[in-house]
Chain A
Amino acid sequence: MNIEDIKKPENIVYKKTPILTDNVMHYCPGCSHGTVHKLVAEVIEEMGIQDKTIAISPVGCSVFAYNYLNIDWQQAAHGRAPALATATKRLNPDKYVFTYQGDGDLASIGTAEIIHACSRGENIVVIFINNGIYGMTGGQMAPTTLLGMKTATTPYGRDAKLNGFPLVLAPMIAQLDGTAFITRQSVHTAPAARKAKAAIRKAFEYSQKGIGLSFVEIVATCNSGWKMSPVAANKWMVENMFTKYPLGDIKDVLKQE
């Protein structure tokens, strides 16, 4: 069969979801943000909740996420997205509210907000992109940076004596009674991306059950910040990030019962 005969509208099995706008993303080539944006958009399309979703964008590379997903957005001060999401969800309890935050936003300046939102058990979804670096400002050390990892502010590698240890947030908040679903996923391969999509969908469904906060951590790459090609960055992530941040579900209250 000829290739041109296959390329017909009735044979389409995968195309860009209409929830994503036609704007060209400003992210670097190979950035995990684009893939996660797409997965969130696909979940929103599949669940048919485009007009019922309110998202909170952070400060960081993904601050412009509101240009790419055709849903309602607000933009929070640095690290304060869970606080804004709390207000949004309490005022609009029937809406699906999620925050989209990077590690510089959530694990550093926004630590207080996320811990207290988890402790209060707000019925929101938090999507946490963990690439171990401040990508937007030029690749400085973040709290999640691995020991020995070279960044702009730790040119000889992160040293525990000087810079402290990496902050692993997911197990910390798993202890809090207000959290319902905590998982850690990745999007570097097709199976991993499909699992991450299923996890995001589950988090959205849990948020409407009124059982607490759902937290989806995506271990991601920042190939510009890491000074690698996109493919090499994915390989480096598998070899180094996954030992400190292993993938899988960390907490699921409905599964335990």
Chain B
Amino acid sequence: MAFKGAIEVDTQKCKGCGVCVENCPTKSIELAKMVNSKGYHYAEMVGDACIGCSNCAIVCPDSVITVYRVKI
């Protein structure tokens, strides 16, 4: 059984701390080159390797990540 996932980041509330990037097992999250209105490089999903494990969301201090997951 395999899973495929996706995340959605509340970019205006993200403070770009990078803790989620360190905790992603599939390297599917990175800090963006763009900044939000407060000047932080917000987190964003990259590639399609995300498995929806929620690791990024549970360590996010500002609770800005929503995780979606489907079985394939």
Which residues of A approach B to under 8 Å, CB–CB?
A: 1, 3, 6-8, 11-17, 20, 24-25, 27-35, 38, 187-190, 193-194, 229-231, 234
Report how many A-B pairs have Cβ atoms within 8 Å. Answer: 100
A229:B70 contact, CB within 8 angstroms:
no
Report the Cα distance A246→B59, complex, angstroms. 20
A234:B68 contact, CB within 8 angstroms:
no
A30:B23 contact, CB within 8 angstroms:
no
B69:A11 contact, CB within 8 angstroms:
yes
Of B16, B63, B68, which contacts A29 at CB under 8 A?
Answer: B16
Q: List 15 A-B contacts (CB under 8 A).
A: A6-B70, A8-B68, A13-B68, A14-B54, A14-B65, A15-B67, A28-B15, A30-B15, A34-B61, A35-B58, A35-B60, A35-B61, A38-B60, A188-B59, A194-B58
Which residues of chain B have C-beta atoms less than 8 A from A189's C-beta? 23, 59
Taking CB atoms and an 8 Å cut-off, the chain B residues in 3-21 that contact chain A are 4-6, 8, 13, 15-19, 21
Report the Cα distance A119→B8, complex, angstroms. 47
Which residues of chain A have C-beta atoms less than 8 A from B48's C-beta? 3
The residue in chain B whose Cβ has the minimal distance to the Cβ of A41 is B63
Which residues of chain B have C-beta atoms less than 8 A from A38's C-beta? 58, 60-61, 63
In the complex with contacts A14-B67, A15-B66, A231-B59 CB distance below 8 A: no
Report the Cα distance A8→B59, complex, angstroms. 23
In the complex with contacts A14-B66, A35-B61, A230-B17, A190-B72 CB distance below 8 A: no
Which residues of chain A have C-beta atoms less than 8 A from B52's C-beta? 6, 13
B57:A14 contact, CB within 8 angstroms:
yes
B61:A25 contact, CB within 8 angstroms:
yes
Which residues of chain B have C-beta atoms less than 8 A from A27's C-beta? 61
Which residues of chain A have C-beta atoms less than 8 A from B66's C-beta? 12, 14-16
Which residues of chain B have C-beta atoms less than 8 A from A7's C-beta? 6, 8, 68
Report the Cα distance A234→B17, complex, angstroms. 11
